[in-house]
Chain A
């Protein structure tokens, strides 16, 4: 474990901390304004560890997540956000789709 509590097994994910975003609106913004190559790199890095990350995170009660675990969880949410871009569309935003910034989350 590193000083911040970040597990050594997930050290390769630290360059992607910019994806540790707390709200759907922020994650959408990041997806919609990122280059596909960056999205794909984040996807590749996360997917190979995803099962281990979720098993690791499941040991923490949701109400008392240490900061590094909260960051990792937010990164899994960013993976969920960009998964359709990588797996279904091959681009951040599907052709001929609704303006994502007009579809406004009322939740956090």
Chain B
């Protein structure tokens, strides 16, 4: 049911958004260029490892991937020099451990996903329950003074919010997940994650770029009319919003959110039009009904809206739209190498038409993301040249400025310099 008519007819033409001055809303961030060093420095990267990634909650996926007791996923965390197993226990609760045998340190799980009754090391056969307790040692009498009850797998804190699984490398974190996410929870409360998470697509790539360079590319729309001229510019810009200015944004202590414009006059291509006709699509939704979205998504309640973003510190983001959402994770490997994972989610397809629609939506998303991939590597190639020391940022790039500030507040690289 439509509760509003499309406004692209001129009746409610989108206002000129050329005068948004987001820097004025957050004067504490300043307007000065930001330094390049954090994006190229090994010293900075080492501090990020110690002061961020070992100290905060990190998203590692969704609960739909491990619905039954014994189901597990394995998450590589090269930034923390570890691998983590998240498993649903026989008690139905999630448990998480460093993926490392207590004997001589072999990884106990070698694949990325599976289901098991217990974890048995492929080196000497030490065996652990799903709760991490050490249950069996071959030729146990050969060891002297072994305290078997203290040789379980090393635990990692794990908790969930809205079906998203988060881990914390401190097994007893001082801050609960709920408190950590408190700034963004109201914005996403009530968003239909369970229904929209039925169909999951995921791409993974390793890029030669700093994790913040990669992430920052998705935190501003300023590049969209240029870099995505062939793909996304038509749907996300217009004569009244030619530079893809945000509809709204909020910067929090650690996290942030934005809301983006959609061009209701955009004419989809023939195949996009059919995809839209037969199901959900990432192209701007002319039939959007505002009452099927919670108040925190599209907070300005405009019909010429496309997608919101929620940036969860340090490396996770959720992009809710109408009937579909996507997430990005950027996992640092070194100061200039990153694992980039994008998931896109849809409801369960009921028929072939809906499957086709989802297929088109994800292929278009993938081709748009690939346009970004090249830029990231070209930037990293020359950032360390020393030719420039700082980057100027404009109002529409304030999320990049905020992201830099939050990281630096944790890292303290420039404090006292």
In the bound complex, do residue B203 and residue A80 qualify as a contact, i.e. CB atoms below 8 Å apart?
no
The closest CB in chain A to the CB of B344 belongs to A107
In the bound complex, do residue A57 and residue B351 qualify as a contact, i.e. CB atoms below 8 Å apart?
yes
Mask for A40-63, Cβ within 8 A of B = 1, else 0?
Answer: 000000010011001101101010
Cβ–Cβ < 8 Å partners of B272 in chain A: 83, 87
Q: How far apart are B236's CB and chain A's nearest CB, in angstroms?
A: 14
Q: Is A89 an interface residue (CB 8 A)?
A: yes
Distance of A96 Cα from B275 Cα, bound (Å)? 27
Interface positions, chain A 61-108, Cβ under 8 Å from B, are 62, 65, 69, 73, 76-77, 79-81, 83-84, 87-89, 94, 96-98, 100, 102-107
Q: How far apart are B193's CB and chain A's nearest CB, in angstroms?
A: 18
In the bound complex, do residue A80 and residue B230 qualify as a contact, i.e. CB atoms below 8 Å apart?
no
In the bound complex, do residue A107 and residue B201 qualify as a contact, i.e. CB atoms below 8 Å apart?
yes
* Other-chain residue from B231, B349, B371 in contact with A62 (beta carbon distance below 8 A): B349
Distance of A64 Cα from B205 Cα, bound (Å)? 34
Mask for B196-230, Cβ within 8 A of A = 1, else 0?
Answer: 00001111111000000000000000000000001
* Other-chain residue from B353, B370, B371 in contact with A54 (beta carbon distance below 8 A): B353
The closest CB in chain A to the CB of B343 belongs to A106
The closest CB in chain A to the CB of B227 belongs to A96
Q: Is B379 an interface residue (CB 8 A)?
A: no
* Other-chain residue from A57, A65, A102 in contact with B353 (beta carbon distance below 8 A): A57
Q: How far apart are A28's CB and chain B's nearest CB, in angstroms?
A: 9
Q: Is B271 an interface residue (CB 8 A)?
A: yes
In the bound complex, do residue A84 and residue B359 qualify as a contact, i.e. CB atoms below 8 Å apart?
no
Distance of A69 Cα from B205 Cα, bound (Å)? 33
Q: Could you say which interface size class chain A belongs to? A: 20 to 34
In the bound complex, do residue B356 and residue A76 qualify as a contact, i.e. CB atoms below 8 Å apart?
yes
The interface residues of chain A, by DSSP majority, are classed as helix
Interface positions, chain B 336-376, Cβ under 8 Å from A, are 341, 349-353, 355-356, 359-360, 363-364, 366-367, 369-374
Distance of A76 Cα from B360 Cα, bound (Å)? 9
In the bound complex, do residue A58 and residue B205 qualify as a contact, i.e. CB atoms below 8 Å apart?
no
Cβ–Cβ < 8 Å partners of A84 in chain B: 231, 363-364, 367
Distance of A102 Cα from B370 Cα, bound (Å)? 10
Q: Is B302 an interface residue (CB 8 A)?
A: no
* Other-chain residue from B275, B341, B370 in contact with A80 (beta carbon distance below 8 A): B275
Distance of A102 Cα from B369 Cα, bound (Å)? 12
The closest CB in chain B to the CB of A55 belongs to B353
* Other-chain residue from A24, A54, A69, A100 in contact with B356 (beta carbon distance below 8 A): A54
Q: Is B395 an interface residue (CB 8 A)?
A: no
In the bound complex, do residue B271 and residue A94 qualify as a contact, i.e. CB atoms below 8 Å apart?
no
In the bound complex, do residue A106 and residue B230 qualify as a contact, i.e. CB atoms below 8 Å apart?
no
Distance of A84 Cα from B203 Cα, bound (Å)? 18
* Other-chain residue from A88, A104, A107 in contact with B231 (beta carbon distance below 8 A): A88
Q: How far apart are A68's CB and chain B's nearest CB, in angstroms?
A: 13
The closest CB in chain A to the CB of B364 belongs to A84
In the bound complex, do residue A58 and residue B353 qualify as a contact, i.e. CB atoms below 8 Å apart?
yes
Q: Is B44 an interface residue (CB 8 A)?
A: no
Knowing A50-B271, A76-B356, the reply to whether A103 touches B230 (Cβ < 8 A) is: no
In the bound complex, do residue A54 and residue B205 qualify as a contact, i.e. CB atoms below 8 Å apart?
no
The closest CB in chain A to the CB of B361 belongs to A80
In the bound complex, do residue A89 and residue B356 qualify as a contact, i.e. CB atoms below 8 Å apart?
no
Q: How far apart are A97's CB and chain B's nearest CB, in angstroms?
A: 5
Distance of A106 Cα from B278 Cα, bound (Å)? 25
In the bound complex, do residue B271 and residue A47 qualify as a contact, i.e. CB atoms below 8 Å apart?
yes
Knowing A57-B351, A57-B353, A96-B374, the reply to whether A80 touches B363 (Cβ < 8 A) is: yes
Distance of A105 Cα from B342 Cα, bound (Å)? 10
Knowing A76-B356, A104-B203, the reply to whether A87 touches B270 (Cβ < 8 A) is: yes
Distance of A58 Cα from B352 Cα, bound (Å)? 5
Cβ–Cβ < 8 Å partners of A104 in chain B: 203-205
Cβ–Cβ < 8 Å partners of B356 in chain A: 54, 73, 76-77, 79-80
Residues of A near any B CB (own CB < 8 A): 24, 47, 50-51, 54-55, 57-58, 60, 62, 65, 69, 73, 76-77, 79-81, 83-84, 87-89, 94, 96-98, 100, 102-107
Residues of B near any A CB (own CB < 8 A): 200-206, 230-231, 269-272, 274-275, 277-278, 341, 349-353, 355-356, 359-360, 363-364, 366-367, 369-374
A-B contact pairs, 9 of them (CB 8 A): A57-B353, A80-B360, A83-B363, A88-B269, A98-B374, A102-B206, A102-B373, A105-B202, A106-B203
Instruction: Give 15 A-B pairs besides A57-B353, A98-B369, A104-B203 with Cβ atoms closer than 8 angstroms.
Output: A47-B270, A47-B271, A58-B351, A76-B352, A80-B363, A83-B360, A83-B364, A87-B272, A98-B373, A102-B373, A103-B366, A105-B201, A105-B203, A106-B341, A107-B201
Q: Which 4 A-B residue pairs are closest in the complex by CB-CB distance? A: A98-B373, A57-B352, A83-B271, A98-B370
